[in-house]
Amino acid sequence: MVYITGDIHGSLSPIYELFEKHSPAIDDIIVILGDVGLNYTGTLQDISLKRAMSKLGSTFFCIHGNHENRPQNIASYSEKEWNGGRVLFEEDFPNILFPVDGDIFLLEGKKCLVIGGAYSVDKYYRLSNGHKWWPDEQPSSAIKEYVEEQIANNDINIVFSHTCPAKYIPTECFLSCIDQSEVDNSTEEWLDTIEEKLDYTAWYLGHWHTNKHIDRLHFLFHDVECL
């Protein structure tokens, strides 16, 4: 079984609730759609969270968000092949996997494309208050090119991303304290071009802290769905 849920931002409470309600087996997969928060502080706090999550036993498939460092930037991570794509993992936590953006994974017989990253609307607040922020939070030009090559050469059934195509941006989720004219929507605008080229079954995403469906898009926060 593949369970899918949204951002947890370093809090395991939504994951514990998922386990209490659904009782995932050790060979089940839990997809977290970005902003997992396990690579945020770079301190023992991250290690403590990973240790607690790893002990739950299932495999965690963690999409890259915008409130966390990319594992490619962290020396403790190694790369391996998993279900048709590449993932990064740490030897101490082998069941916590971070997929490479643009790779395609075979889950329950479905070809699943991963596209992580988004712009942080709280970027300047974080920078001015000494909080963590990473300049590579959004997909690079190289990642975008790779994704475009992948969809040109493969049929895609499912998309896992952090944010959504621009046409589906949920404006009701805008924060009143943010000047939207200052927000960089380039990732969402690029995802528009990707969505137009795909004949997919479902697209799952987090980022917007809402639970709803629009067409074939599944916006998830703390709700849980099965693939």
227 residues of the chain, pLDDT tens digit each: 999 999 999 999 999 999 999 999 999 999 999 999 999 999 999 999 999 999 999 999 999 999 999 999 999 999 999 999 999 999 999 999 999 999 999 999 999 999 999 999 999 999 999 999 999 999 999 999 999 999 999 999 999 999 999 999 999 999 888 888 889 999 999 999 999 999 999 999 999 999 999 999 999 999 999 99
Contact (CB, 8 A) for 105 and 83: yes
Q: 109's torsion region: left (phi>0), alpha (psi -120 to 50) or beta? A: left
Domains in the chain, CATH or no CATH each? 2-226 (3.60.21)
Cβ atoms within 10 A of the Cβ of 194, count?
A: 21
φ/ψ bin of 174: left (φ > 0), alpha (ψ from -120 to 50), beta (otherwise): beta
Handedness of CA 11, 12, 15, 16 (dihedral sign): negative
Give me the helices (H) in the chain, please: 13-22, 44-54, 123-128, 141-153, 186-197
The whole model's pTM is what? Answer: 0.97
Going from the C-alpha of 97 to that of each of 94, 149, 158, the distances in angstroms are 7, 23, 18
3-class state of residue 149 by DSSP: helix
Task: Enter the DSSP assignment of 71.
Answer: G
